[in-house]
């Protein structure tokens, strides 16, 4: 009988975190910002067909960076979770808080028990009645859950991007302004020309489904 090598838990976590971080560092960033008209989500994405931002439920959107197959499977699972909950109870019972918690539990489990951690970071964003009600959750590869307000970012240089956003983000800005502000922050932090935009918005006003993708026209001027 062979005994498995003993690996101290500190070492295991450290190795896994390093592996996941390396994967995520290659990913392009995504930012989410609260504005008067709703929550704006902006991503650098050279592809027109493979999206990183997606509708989850009425007032909730998802965005993911890192390995496509991994954040895509999380996105699909998030939609399943939300639709099952909304069907079983009611539409208003689907909340970003419970979803973010499920993402956190799932990523945390995979980080510790899976063959390898997911190389992803995800955003779960919910638009509220006013800016104070908006929810911006960020979940990292190890399941750590961050509750942000106003603005947040994920992806390679997300810390630098968050800081840059913080410098110029003012209270209750207009959607147009936050879009320009975010684009400028991307350019400064990346220090290069941006390779295509993908944008979406969760509208503050409306009936059930508030998610809409920003058109090429809306993104061309930023």
Partner 1 sequence: MSGFLLPLDAPLPGNSFTELARSLDLTPRWHLPAEASPSSVPAPDATTVLALRYDGGVVMAGDRQASSGYDVAHRRIQKVFAADAYSAVAVSGTAGMAIELVRLFQTELEHYEKLEGERLSLDGKATYLARMVRMQLPLALQGFLVVPLFCGVDPRTGTGHVFTFDAVGGRYEEQDFGAAGSGGREARAYLRTVHRPDSDEDMAVDRAMEALVAAAGQDLATGGPDIRRGIYPNVVTVTAAGLRHVEESAVADAARRAVETVL
What's the order of all strands across the beta sheet hosting 197-203?
Answer: 151-154, 30-35, 38-44, 197-203, 211-213
Paired tokens of 174: 């207009």
105 near partner 1 (CB under 8 A): yes
Q: How far is the CB of 111 from partner 1 (least distance, A)?
A: 13
Whichever of 75 and 164 has its CB closer to partner 1, that residue is: 75
What are the residues whose beta carbons fall under 8 Å from the beta carbon of 185, sequence distance 6 or more? 31, 161, 164, 165, 168
109 near partner 1 (CB under 8 A): yes
Q: How far is the CB of 5 from partner 1 (least distance, A)?
A: 29
Whichever of 49 and 205 has its CB closer to partner 1, that residue is: 49
Instruction: State which of positions 151-210 bind partner 1 (CB under 8 A).
Output: 209
Q: Which of 81, 137, 186, 197 binds partner 1 (CB under 8 A)?
A: 81
What are the residues whose beta carbons fall under 8 Å from the beta carbon of 148, sequence distance 6 or more? 136, 137, 138
How many alpha carbons lie under 13 Å from residue 100 in its C-beta half-sphere? Answer: 23
Residues interacting with partner 1, by CB under 8 A? 51, 54-56, 73-74, 76-81, 83-84, 86-88, 101-103, 105-106, 109, 209
């Amino acid at each position: 009988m062979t005994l498995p090598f003993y690996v101290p838990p500190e070492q295991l976590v450290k190795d896994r975190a390093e592996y996941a971080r390396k994967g995520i560092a290659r990913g392009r960033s995504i930012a989410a910002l609260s504005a008067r008209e709703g929550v704006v989500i902006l991503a650098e994405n050279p592809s027109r067909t493979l999206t990183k931002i997606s509708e989850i439920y009425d007032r909730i959107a998802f965005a993911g960076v890192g390995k496509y197959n991994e954040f895509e499977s999380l996105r699909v699972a998030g939609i399943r979770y939300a639709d099952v909950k909304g069907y079983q109870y009611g539409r208003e019972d689907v909340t970003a808080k419970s979803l973010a918690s499920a993402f956190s539990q799932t990523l945390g489990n995979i980080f510790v028990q899976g063959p390898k951690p997911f190389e992803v970071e995800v955003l779960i964003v919910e638009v509220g009645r006013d800016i104070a009600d908006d929810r911006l959750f960020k979940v990292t590869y190890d399941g750590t859950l961050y509750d942000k307000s106003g603005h947040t970012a994920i992806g390679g240089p997300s810390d630098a991007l968050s800081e840059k956003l913080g410098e110029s983000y003012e209270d209750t800005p207009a959607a147009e302004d936050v879009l320009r502000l975010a684009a400028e922050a991307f350019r400064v932090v990346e220090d290069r020309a941006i390779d295509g935009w993908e944008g979406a918005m969760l509208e503050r006003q409306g009936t059930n489904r508030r998610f809409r993708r920003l058109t090429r026209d809306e993104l061309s001027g930023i």
